[in-house]
């Protein structure tokens, strides 16, 4: 399994992803799922992937090596597309290309063509954006009402985002909430695990301010997990007992 | 969707279920999913159902009207089985009977044979037990290490149970935690909704102490939801900001 989330708030973008991959429960490895594509000051993009690793790696190779330009000559890459929307389209085309190449044989082997991707960032002259792409190559864009998108094992980490994140949340707080969301997921699903990769890109800078891998045992994240567990226990203790039943 | 949970702690059993059913998002109704079978002081059982409503209703009818005794004459019902284990076996047989009767036609219509059931309670002379039955009629029993079982839309409500429930949790606190778990699920999945049914059965009484339906707007549950939201926000506020990034 995988858990990745992107939060697009007024101050900028947070992207987070775990690194655990498994082909069966007895074949577990660490692979990077959060990738940075940056030309400092001109464009800063982050891409997180979930689903079949061979598909997502092929997609990343295609958008880096380039696909034939649809309406012109030469190739288009993630470093040459002029807008975020065009970047999402490029990734969608790459997904379809991989589906065309590998899809039938995968399905013949009983493997579903399963991939989903978060694309976030900003290209100079355009707005900061966050997209989620599906296995068909289509995509949706994150809005200000619900300023986050998730892929993979998204349910355990959704309650905290549902309740605490809005567009005016500051970038450091958004990062903290993303880490709490990741913690809830790790706690409830063994298939999601440390290390965790994080990227933050302040709006209108086209320059990541944080590109960091949180390893197991890192003091801040360890402390966050302990504090969050303690706070949850304290939170329910403070709620009165139900009036329906036997008193304690 | 549906969310049901059972918690079996030292003091007894809590069962909780929502009541929302839907055949498509534009056909939503309220149906009871938590059912009580009690002969006061002799046996007190609670059954919660998830999955296809026609299947679970047929199962409930079969265990009430009775199935032919496997090793004797006459019929066996949920009121006549001598132990909880035999009750679980009876429900399993009922599921298989419905599968035999309706399964093929359902699958021919593109409807998966989907049902899962929680059975909890106690019969005089035996221990309090909690079982989860699958669509194949097989079942597992709840243990003391993880003293709860869930069916239906279980992920949103699992983090609070994972962190807060253990076998020594008192019955009123277990009920409160079940309500928080239900609140998290309702908040994140529109397919799970009020009213909520709850049953608690103190151990060794064979007599439910609470059989209650919580309607929308009920003051205690409304207050619990507000307090829990406020507590979650306060909980993350108390955690220091990540050291990785730009300071606020």
Q: Would you write out chain B's pLDDT as a tens digit for each of its 248 residues?
A: 899 999 999 999 999 999 998 877 788 899 999 999 999 999 999 999 999 999 999 999 999 999 999 888 899 999 999 999 999 999 999 999 999 999 999 999 999 999 999 999 999 999 999 999 999 999 999 999 999 999 999 999 998 998 899 999 999 999 999 999 999 999 988 889 999 999 999 999 999 999 999 999 999 999 999 999 898 888 899 999 999 965 44
Given pLDDT bands bounded at 50, 70 and 90, which one contains residue A28?
confident
Q: Which of A16-25, A26-35, A79-88, A155-164 has the highest mean pLDDT?
A: A79-88
Q: Specify the pLDDT at position B247.
A: 45
CA distance B61 to chain A (A): 29
Q: Using CA atoms, how far apart are residues B178 and B165, in angstroms rounded to an integer? A: 9
Residue A117 has pLDDT above 50, yes or no: yes
Interface contact B188-A155, CB threshold 8 A: yes
Let me know the angle formed at the C-alpha of A139 by A134 and A144, rounded to the nearest 5 degrees.
125
Contact B209, B200 (CB under 8 A): yes
State residue B248's pLDDT score: 45
pLDDT of residue A183: 95
Q: What percent of chain A has pLDDT over 90?
A: 86
Mean pLDDT of chain A: 94
Q: Do B188 and A162 touch (CB under 8 A)?
A: yes
Interface confidence: ipTM more than 0.95: no
Q: What is the mean pLDDT of residues A161-190?
A: 94
Strand order in the sheet with B12-18: B148-152, B3-9, B12-18, B196-202, B210-214
Element housing A43 (H / E): strand A43-51
Residue of B155, B224, B239 with shortest CB distance to A156 = B155
In the prediction, which pLDDT does A24 show?
72
Q: Which residues of chain B make contact with A248, given a CB cutoff of 8 A?
A: 170, 172-173
Q: How is residue B221 written in tokens?
A: 């549950």
Which residue has better confidence, A247 or A235?
A235
pLDDT at A247 over 70: no
Q: How far is A104 from chain B (nearest CA, A)?
A: 23
Residue A198 has pLDDT above 90, yes or no: yes
Q: What is the pLDDT of residues A51-100, one digit of tens each?
A: 999 999 999 999 999 999 988 889 999 999 999 999 999 999 999 999 99
For A163, the closest of B212, B232, B239 (CB atoms) is: B232
**Residues of chain A contacting residue B158, judged by C-beta atoms under 8 Å apart:** 156, 188
A90–chain B nearest CA distance, Å: 30
CB contact under 8 A, B162 and A235: no
Burial class (CB in 10 A: 0-12, 13-18, 19+), A112: exposed
Asked if B232 and A160 come within 8 Å (Cβ–Cβ), the reply is: yes
Burial (Cβ within 10 Å: 0-12, 13-18, ≥19) of residue B25: exposed
- Say whether B46 sits in a helix, a strand or coil: strand
* Of A23 and A187, more confident: A187
Buried b (16+ CB within 10 A) or exposed e, B213-244: ebeeebebbeebbebbbebbeebbeebebbeb
Q: Which of A 145-174 lie inside 8 A of B, CB atoms? A: 155-156, 158-160, 162-164, 170-173
Backbone Cα Rg of chain A:
19
Q: How many whole angstroms separate alpha carbon B92 and alpha carbon B81?
A: 13
Q: How far is the C-alpha of B211 from the C-alpha of B46, rounded, in Å? A: 10
Overall average pLDDT of the A130-137 stretch: 98
- Record: contact A244-B173, CB cut-off 8 A: no
Domains of chain A, CATH where assigned: 3-237 (3.60.20.10)
Q: Do B171 and A245 touch (CB under 8 A)?
A: yes
Chain A residues closer than 8 Å to B232 by CB: 159-160, 163-164, 232, 235
Q: What pLDDT band is residue A191 in, cutting at 50, 70 and 90?
A: confident
Tell me what pLDDT residue A245 has.
64
Query: Would you tell me which residues 201-240 of chain A have a C-beta closer than 8 angstroms to some C-beta of chain B?
Result: 202, 209-210, 212, 220, 223-224, 227-229, 231-236, 238-240
């Amino acid at each position: 399994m995988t858990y990745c989330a992107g939060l697009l708030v007024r101050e900028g973008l947070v992207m987070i992803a775990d690194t655990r991959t498994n082909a069966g429960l007895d074949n577990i490895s660490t692979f990077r799922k959060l990738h940075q594509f940056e030309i400092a000051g001109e464009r800063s993009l982050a891409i997180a992937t979930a689903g079949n690793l061979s598909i997502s790696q092929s997609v990343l190779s295609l958008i880096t090596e380039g696909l034939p330009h649809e309406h012109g000559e030469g190739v288009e890459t993630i470093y040459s597309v002029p807008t975020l929307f065009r970047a999402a389209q490029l990734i969608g085309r790459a997904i379809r290309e991989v589906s065309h190449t590998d899809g039938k044989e995968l399905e013949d082997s009983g493997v579903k063509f399963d991939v989903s991707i978060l694309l976030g960032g900003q290209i100079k002259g355009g707005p900061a954006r966050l997209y989620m792409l599906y296995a068909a190559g289509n995509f949706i864009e994150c809005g200000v009402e619900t300023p986050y998108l998730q892929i993979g094992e998204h349910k355990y980490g959704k309650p905290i985002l549902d309740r605490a994140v809005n567009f005016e949340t500051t970038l450091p707080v958004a990062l903290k909430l993303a880490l709490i969301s990741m913690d809830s997921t790790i706690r409830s699903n063994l298939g999601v695990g440390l290390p965790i990769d994080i990227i933050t890109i302040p709006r209108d800078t086209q320059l990541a301010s944080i590109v960091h891998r949180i390893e197991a045992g890192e003091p801040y994240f360890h402390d966050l997990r302990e504090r969050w567990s303690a706070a949850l226990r304290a939170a329910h203790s403070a709620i009165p007992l139900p009036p329906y039943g036997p008193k304690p």
